[in-house]
Structure 1
Amino acid sequence: MIDLDHKEVILSLLGFVNRPGIDRFINFLNESDFFQAPCSTKHHLAKPGGLAEHSLHVYNLLYEKINRFGLEVPRDTITICGLGHDLCKVNYYQEGGDPCSDAQYNYLSNLWTQKQSFFEESSKEKLASLLDEKNLFARSIPSAKATIIIDWLKNKPNNPLPELPVVFSVADKLPLGHGEKSVSILQDFIKLTDNEKLAIRWHMGAWDLSDYSGRWSFNNANKLTPLVALLTTADFEASNILEKEGE
């Protein structure tokens, strides 16, 4: 699913970036799953289109913070950091979700055997894609969907089956890390300034400290440019305040 409003705004903002390679970068986004991908598997904006929505939230917060503090930051930098900080999540998720545990699967299967005569045919039709040729739940059923079905079978089998969410799992085809990977992808298309590299690399703050560099590199990066703190807090505020309802 693509939110056409989000896509239109993002492409419009990128169209004003005056940097060699930006056209190739825009083509990359259009050909990737950037506009369809979730932002997480189970936390903030874990839904189709979540990554683009989150990127816009961060861009808007970053822009507001820079104006609030009267800082001189190029508009290109705001756009690249705000919209590009989470490029590490492009082509990173796959639809399906993590499978349930053996215990959860066995419990679901037992409930299904006991109660499938209770509910309407329309509910059976909704479950068809999750059943095998023997009319049993496939072992690969995602845990998130199994949880909803178990609750329904236990407590409300006479009611229609609730809508089952689209769920995702991680399928990282280029495991370069988080902020580092976003920097790497961007630099395949456009040249970044040092401040942009630092802000994007450290945008996760204390949640992305490696054993090798640890908090010292993060602290030093904050001393070199306020853009690090601005992007870190914009990302944190977006995921924990603006997008909290999606958790």
Structure 2
Amino acid sequence: MTAKEEFISIYKENIKREGADKLLEYLERTDFFTAPSSTRFHGSFKGGLVQHSLNVYHCLKDYLSRPRTKELYGMDYSEETIALVALLHDVCKIDFYTTEMRNKKNEETGQWEKVPFYTINDNLPYGHGEKSVYILSGFFYGENRLTREEAFAIRYHMGFSYGGTEERGTIGKALEMYPLALALNVADMEASYYMEGSNK
């Protein structure tokens, strides 16, 4: 099963709210299933974004199933919520990367060659997690909108590694108020640094 097939299978099995079908159609019209997850760090390859999304899903499922996690935080979320926040936390990266060429020395031949590399071309500069919430809100609205905790989890999934100008106290307060945000941050970091990483 390919990463795309696994993603679609988990998505269809778990995300049932109105707007889910249209969102999946949208994802298939974009580069979501072929885009990298970063330019040179985790998932910096074709299809890296969908693979990262799956890794975060599996890490989040594992984290939330641990007895100690449930005991400490009282976390008990629906399968739909878990799939939604994990699989869709990085939809902000749709149509975000482009491929350019640069010169690189071939270590075997000593010759310089043109090689492709990913670069950022952000046509919707709306931040990171907040852009994902914004995009998803175009499909899930009214009674089917993201719950407040789902929205905060996606918005703050980067935790303290977010590179924006936000005050650290705001991030800490969000993670304290919404345990799912903390759980998604843990899953995202585990997937990014331990499962994927720049050297994996």
TM-score computed with the length of structure 1 as normaliser: 0.71
* Aligned ranges 1:77-226 → 2 under 5 Å: 77-96=81-100, 141-142=101-102, 146-149=103-106, 151-154=107-110, 166-190=116-140, 191-208=145-162, 210-211=164-165, 213-226=166-179
The CA deviation string for residues 91-121 of structure 1, in whole angstroms up to 9 with x for no partner, is 100111xxxxxxxxxxxxxxxxxxxxxxxxx
Change (3 A) 1:72 1:46: same
1:10 lines up with 2:14 in the alignment: no
Matched position secondary structure for 1:73: coil
CA distance in 1, matches of 2:163, 2:199: 26
CA contact (8 A) 2:53 2:86 kept: yes
CA contact (8 A) 1:81 1:196 kept: yes
CA distance in 2, matches of 1:167, 1:238: 22
CA contact (8 A) 1:183 1:200 kept: yes
Matched position secondary structure for 1:200: helix
The CA deviation string for residues 107-136 of structure 1, in whole angstroms up to 9 with x for no partner, is xxxxxxxxxxxxxxxxxxxxxxxxxxxxxx
1:37 lines up with 2:32 in the alignment: no
Larger gyration radius, structure 1 or structure 2: 1
User: How far is the alpha carbon of 1:148 from its aligned partner?
Assistant: 3.3
CA contact (8 A) 1:204 1:235 kept: yes
CA distance in 2, matches of 1:170, 1:245: 17
Point out where structure 2 has 5 or more consecutive residues left out of the alignment: none
CA distance in 2, matches of 1:26, 1:165: 33
CA distance in 2, matches of 1:58, 1:243: 11
Structure 2 residue identity aligned to 1:173: N
CA contact (8 A) 2:159 2:175 kept: no
Matched position secondary structure for 1:241: helix
CA distance in 2, matches of 1:5, 1:43: 22
User: How far is the alpha carbon of 1:245 from its aligned partner?
Assistant: 5.4
Point out where structure 1 has 5 or more consecutive residues left out of the alignment: 97-140
Structure 2 residue identity aligned to 1:199: A
CA contact (8 A) 1:35 1:52 kept: yes
The CA deviation string for residues 11-69 of structure 1, in whole angstroms up to 9 with x for no partner, is 11111212110000000111110000001111111110000000000000001111112
User: How far is the alpha carbon of 1:192 from its aligned partner?
Assistant: 0.5
Change (3 A) 1:210 1:177: same
Matched position secondary structure for 1:180: helix
* Aligned ranges 1:50-89 → 2 under 5 Å: 50-68=48-66, 69-70=69-70, 71-89=75-93
CA distance in 1, matches of 2:122, 2:87: 20
User: How far is the alpha carbon of 1:74 from its aligned partner?
Assistant: 1.1
1:231 lines up with 2:184 in the alignment: yes
Aligned residues: 189
CA distance in 2, matches of 1:39, 1:165: 19
